[in-house]
Amino acid sequence: MAAVNAGRWLALCAGAAAAVLLGIHFIGSGFGPFPVEWNIGLRQPIDGFQSWVIGNRSTHPIFLFVFGPFSAFVDWGLRAAENILLWLPWPVTVWLFAALAWQVANWRITVVTVCGLLFMGLMGLWEQSMQTLALMVIAVSLSLLVSVPLGILAARHAHLQQILRPILDLMQTMPAFVYLIPVLLFFGVARVPSVVATMIYAIPPGIRLTELGLRQVSPPVVEAARAFGATRRQLLWHVQLPLALPAIMAGVNQTIMMALSIVIIAALIGAGGLGREVLVALQRLQVGRALEAGLAVVLLAIIMDRISDALANRQSEIYVAGANTGYAAKRPAWQRARIVVPLVAAVLLLAALVLGVQSFPEAARLPLYQPVDVAVGWMRDNLYRIGNSGWGTGPLSDLITIRMLDPLRALFAHGLAWPVQVALAVCAGAALSGFPLALQAGLGLFAIGMLGMWELAMDTVSQVVVAVAISIVLAVPLGIWAARSAWVDALLRPILDTLQTIPSFVFLVPVIMLFNVGRVPGVIASVLYALPPGIRLTTLGLRQVNDEVREAARAFGSSSWQLLTKVELPLALPSILLGINQVIMMALAMVVISGLVGGAGLGLEAVIGLAKGQTGRGIEAGLAIAILAIIPDRMLHAAAHRLQPPV
Amino acid sequence: MVDAMSIKSGLSPGADSEPKVVVRNLWKVFGPHAQRVLAALQSGDSKQQAALEGGHVVAVRDATFSVQPGEIFVIMGLSGSGKSTLVRCISRLIEPTGGYIAVGGAEVTAMDAAQLMQLRRHSLSMVFQHFGLFPHRTVLQNAAYGLEVQGVPLAQREARAREMLELVGLAGWADSRPQRLSGGMQQRVGLARALAVDPAVLLCDEPFSALDPLIRRDMQDELLRLQQMMHKTILFITHDFLEALKLGDRIAIMKDGRLVQVGTPEEIVSNPAGDYVREFTRDAPRAKVITARSLAQARAGVEAPAVAASTRLEELLQRMAAGETQLCVREEDGTLLGVVDQAAVLRALAGAAPR
Ligand SMILES: Nc1ncnc2c1ncn2[C@@H]1O[C@H](COP(=O)(O)OP(=O)(O)O)[C@@H](O)[C@H]1O
Ligand SMILES: [Mg+2]
């Protein structure tokens, strides 16, 4: 109670301060841009450190005994995986994948898997796909090697969990982009940094879901095992882990999806494979080629998602259906598969080696890019401006730029003086949570200024704000509609599922087909990327409204509108706010990536830092991005928490 | 067997005036082909019936009853017998599959959406088993909800809501969130919310079932107290036979969607229709339910002290214990109904049917 009052008081003070500052700003000479003298000059020491690292990489013990061996080990693993996958003749690889899909899932997923792999070959992307796959295999295995044991430990030791939680929160809040630069510094060039960056991003869900799975094991079951005298170790291996397996497998699925999404971004630091293919094609504006590679990424994502998802579901089905129906029934099939699968693989392998088949034949190349490029050309000519109607993607793009992006950027960068903005951030933090958040928000914004990133940050903020606003305007009504109509829900579900499996990077491809380069494609791609969680959490929030409460509202004669506005929406608001938070996080992650296709701001700065090896510059931009992600995340969580009615 | 059972209409306050709620031949079938199942059920074609009922639940079967103004009409039945469905059909929160319903003379089953909304806003109120309070609103805002959706101005509706909160003894809690209140207090809020719109009919779906036994008794007394002041027409659902006896002017007993007996508590206890109902009456507090009226035997020329027809069995017992052997039973207006003797009192107490 006291904390809330103090927060309110502080919010009032900060609001008053903002008002006074605003007054000074408009009446007097005002404030200039963020003072250059206050730049803390992070860039020089970092660049100095970078030189030191480069100079000492082969001599200093920390590199010789920690980073060096680790890098060598990862690099060895990568090479091995890649060599095997590239050496295996493609029919063998397809056969093995098909057998896996058939075993863990159903014929439909098997067909998708086979078609997907063949598509990669036909697009002339077999090698790149295998490279990406190798990177995935190594990154995912290493991630699981860290995350599952940590998850087990966190489930058993409350202290560890308390230490881990904020770290995991932070890791998941920051756009993936931000990791790339420091990782690059410590793990050198080549592909090791991409593995490390992928691990940082993919480890949190593994830890979370392992821990969750273990905690969810029903206490009576654990008690029963204890009563029979099981030791802690026996308890873990015989009872807890088997029962937590569905959740752990869900964690594996999440780890794979996270890894795939960043493996593509990691192309920026030399990960090669499909990501590089998309990146290069995007930079050269070869939309057809980018689409081919993008489709290959999506197919890889769908294959891995469906197979690992089927694996997780099968685990839980075994428990639900009981050993008799699920597991035991599949036993004979397993036994047979154990013989048939390697046998066929061996035969295929021999045949392929004899015939000299290995990589996918060049002759079978299907030039999808040609019609796509023609289509893109046509769209540029015809959709950009549709006749003289004033419609088309060009005018839409202009509308977004001139009516939304430019005025907002002007407002944030110059219109509102920086002290006013800091005061407003403090005010919001205090009002939503209290002193700590107010302090964090104020200091965070101030730090962006001191990093010398104020203007660039405000450019990025204007893009994020526009993307988020459009996303919310679309997502909330769609979410409401889906909650009310089973029909709409059934229609939306597969679309959202697909959108959510696509790595962020790939969204840029179709968008630049229509919108050219600049800030707008980034905004549009952000909207597409961020819509699914916005819609999902709105629908979820509305669905969770207690039936009796809803019925009570109806019984008192509420109209449909009254039911929605007076009861359902207020009760769903915490969930909707979390959806908006997700929208912001995803839009921010995407807007940063859009630096690649001409979106200005922090993204471009980070890309330049990466591309030119200017680590200091890249890290400054990365820090600013991280701050921009953390502040709204904390605020919206605080808001959602406040609105949650106590149970 | 159940069909043959006579449905009696007992004496109740204002039995001769226009009934407030009329339900005739009400059916509710859940499932994809509800109408077809209903047609089959009504035609009595048993073979087709069995084929169609798969995947369907017949929650209410041919229910007919009426509720008089100012009466507490209790519907009693075990869980799953269709009580909640029946009461929701009356405000059409659940759409009936067939039958006729009228409230205050207006035919509910013929109303369009707008009329229905007006009916729910002004004539019907509901109290829920798990209270159904809005967790994002204060106690006061909860109590004012019905008036708010009617469009009553803020000051006016809050004044009325405060009045209601005072009535149920929650004057000091207006600005709390409902979750902070105990179960009994939460249901008082539910009552205040329902009464605030001054409804003609109050629908209560097991309002006290989620409460502890002691609190439940308090709330039953509270309801009776409020009823003495307000004279609402109340449809009260419960699965607790003792609660039904305590509150009901009349009780309808429901089994598998059918009303198997409708009558005053006394009629049901002293003359249960079939074994199913008798099973409930076994533990009934006969001495509190049965009155001299149902025990009186016509016998001429007996000289004995007189008692009123509404005198309860427990008091008769005391009189007998004090030495009386016979008592004359008279209506309020003085007409002689008959005589009660010791044997009749003992038989009634033992649960045997009157001769
Ligand atoms: N929406 C529904 N769909 C299908 N069956 C239902 C539905 N609601 C209730 N039922 C069924 O109707 C029967 C009566 O339920 P209900 O009216 O809730 O009983 P009660 O309130 O007496 O416990 C039960 O068998 C229940 O399963
Ligand atoms: Mg019920």
Which pLDDT belongs to residue A556?
93
- Answer yes or no: do B130 and A555 touch at CB < 8 A: no
Per the model's pLDDT, the better-predicted residue between A59 and B141 turns out to be B141
Which pLDDT belongs to residue A320?
55
Helix boundaries (H) for A228-286: 232-234, 241-265, 273-283
Distance of alpha carbon A586 from alpha carbon A172, whole angstroms? 11
Is the pLDDT assigned to residue B2 strictly greater than 80? no
Counted domains in chain A: 1
From the alpha carbon of B88, which atom of ligand 1 is closest? 17
CA angle A528, A465, A202 (to 5 degrees): 55
Is the pLDDT assigned to residue B5 strictly greater than 50? no
Strand order in the sheet with B233-238: B124-127, B201-205, B233-238, B72-77, B250-255, B258-263
Which pLDDT belongs to residue B72?
95
DSSP per residue over A293-352, as a string?
A: HHHHHHHHHHHHHHHHHHHHHHHHHHHHH-TTTTHHHHHHHHHHHHHHHHHHHHHHHHHH
Q: Is the CB of residue B338 less than 8 Å from the CB of residue B299?
A: yes
Helix boundaries (H) for A433-568: 435-450, 454-484, 486-501, 504-515, 519-543, 547-555, 560-562
Average pLDDT over residues B187-203: 93
Q: Is the CB of residue A250 less than 8 Å from the CB of residue A492?
A: no
Q: Is residue A412 part of a domain?
A: no
* Terminal Cα distance for chain A, rounded: 17
pLDDT averaged over every residue in chain B: 87
Q: Is residue A551 part of a domain?
A: yes
Average pLDDT over residues B10-15: 43
Could you tell me the residue ranges of all domains in chain B? 4-123+199-284, 288-350
CATH code where residue A620 lies: 1.10.3720.10
Q: Which residues of B touch A557 (CB under 8 A)?
A: 117-122, 146, 149-150
Closest CA to A197 of A279, A262, A277, A273: A262
Distance of alpha carbon A495 from alpha carbon A28, whole angstroms? 54
Distance of alpha carbon A127 from alpha carbon A140, whole angstroms? 20
Strand order in the sheet with B57-67: B57-67, B21-30, B98-103, B106-107
Distance of alpha carbon A508 from alpha carbon A596, whole angstroms? 9
Ligand 1 pocket, B238 CB below 6 A? no
B142 to chain A: closest CA residue: A553
Q: Is residue A284 part of a domain?
A: no
Distance of alpha carbon A241 from alpha carbon A213, whole angstroms? 8
Which pLDDT belongs to residue A582?
86
Average pLDDT over residues B244-267: 93
3-class SS string, A39-59: CCCCHHHHHHHHHHHHHHCCC
Q: Is the CB of residue A531 less than 8 Å from the CB of residue A474?
A: yes
Distance of alpha carbon A7 from alpha carbon A436, whole angstroms? 9
Q: Is residue A635 part of a domain?
A: yes
From the alpha carbon of B78, which atom of ligand 1 is closest? 22
Both tokens of A12, joined, read: 């009032």
Nearest CA to ligand 1 atom 14: B82
pLDDT averaged over every residue in chain A: 82
Distance of alpha carbon B224 from alpha carbon A46, whole angstroms? 80
Q: Is the CB of residue A279 less than 8 Å from the CB of residue A263?
A: no
Which pLDDT belongs to residue B304?
83
Which pLDDT belongs to residue B47?
66
3-class SS string, B94-145: CCCCEEEEEECCEEHHHCCHHHHHHHHHHCEEEECCCCCCCCCCCHHHHHCH
Nearest CA to ligand 1 atom 16: B82
CA angle A444, A593, A437 (to 5 degrees): 20
Q: Is the CB of residue A620 less than 8 Å from the CB of residue A453?
A: yes
Which pLDDT belongs to residue B191?
93
From the alpha carbon of B81, which atom of ligand 1 is closest? 22
Per the model's pLDDT, the better-predicted residue between B176 and A508 turns out to be B176
Q: Is residue A264 part of a domain?
A: no
Ligand 1 pocket, B91 CB below 6 A? no
Which pLDDT belongs to residue B222?
92
Residues with CB under 5 A from ligand 2 (ion): B 84
Both tokens of B28, joined, read: 């509710």
Question: % helix / strand / coil in chain B, to the nearest 5?
Answer: 40, 20, 35
Q: Is residue A250 part of a domain?
A: no
Q: Is the CB of residue B90 less than 8 Å from the CB of residue B82?
A: no
Per the model's pLDDT, the better-predicted residue between A352 and B6 turns out to be A352
- Answer yes or no: do A557 and B119 touch at CB < 8 A: yes
Residue A231 three-state SS: coil
Of B117, B121, B128, nearest to A552 by CB-CB distance is B128
Q: Is A598 left (phi over 0), alpha (psi -120 to 50) or beta?
A: left
Q: Which class would CATH give B4-123+199-284? A: alpha beta
Candidates A550, A551, A556, A573: best to mutate against B (most CBs of B within 10 A) is A556
Which pLDDT belongs to residue A454?
86
Measured in angstroms, how far is the CA atom of residue B79 from the centroid of ligand 2? 6
Distance of alpha carbon A203 from alpha carbon A183, whole angstroms? 15
Q: What is the mean pLDDT of each run of 10 residues along chain A (647 residues)?
A: 60 74 65 73 80 78 77 88 87 87 85 91 89 90 92 88 84 75 75 86 88 84 79 82 85 85 79 86 83 87 86 68 46 64 78 74 77 80 73 80 85 78 84 84 88 87 92 94 90 85 78 80 88 91 91 93 93 89 86 79 84 81 87 86 68
Could you tell me the pLDDT band of residue B7, with boundaries at 50, 70 and 90?
very low
Number of Cβ pairs < 8 A linking chain A and chain B: 69
Which pLDDT belongs to residue A474?
94
Residue A153, CB-side half-sphere exposure with 13 Å CA sphere: 12
- Give, in order, the Cα–Cα distances in Å from A113 to each of A101, A344, B77: 7, 18, 57
- Answer yes or no: do B117 and A557 touch at CB < 8 A: yes
**DSSP code of residue B55:** T
- Nearest C-alpha of chain B: how many angstroms from A563? 9
Could you tell me the pLDDT band of residue B233, with boundaries at 50, 70 and 90?
very high
**DSSP code of residue B21:** E
Both tokens of A182, joined, read: 């420091």
Is the pLDDT assigned to residue B198 strictly greater than 50? yes
Ligand 1 pocket, B123 CB below 6 A? no
Distance of alpha carbon A398 from alpha carbon A520, whole angstroms? 9
Which pLDDT belongs to residue A378?
80
Could you tell me the pLDDT band of residue B6, with boundaries at 50, 70 and 90?
very low
Q: Is residue A410 part of a domain?
A: no
pLDDT 10s digits, A333-354? 556 667 777 777 778 777 777 7
Q: Which class would CATH give B288-350? A: alpha beta
Measured in angstroms, how far is the CA atom of residue B203 from the centroid of ligand 2? 13
| Angle separating helix axes A519-543 and A486-501, nearest 10 degrees | 130
pLDDT 10s digits, A274-296? 888 888 888 887 888 888 888 88
- Answer yes or no: do B149 and A549 touch at CB < 8 A: no
Which pLDDT belongs to residue A111?
92
Q: Which residues of B touch A647 (CB under 8 A)?
A: 179
Question: % helix / strand / coil in chain A, to the nearest 5?
Answer: 85, 0, 15
Candidates B108, B134, B137, B193: best to mutate against A (most CBs of A within 10 A) is B134
| Angle separating helix axes A504-515 and A241-265, nearest 10 degrees | 40
Residue B255 three-state SS: strand
Q: Is the CB of residue B235 less than 8 Å from the CB of residue B201?
A: yes
**For A600, phi and psi rounded to 5 degrees?**
-80, -165
Domain ranges, residue A621: 454-647
Is the pLDDT assigned to residue B141 strictly greater than 50? yes
- Answer yes or no: do A554 and B136 touch at CB < 8 A: no
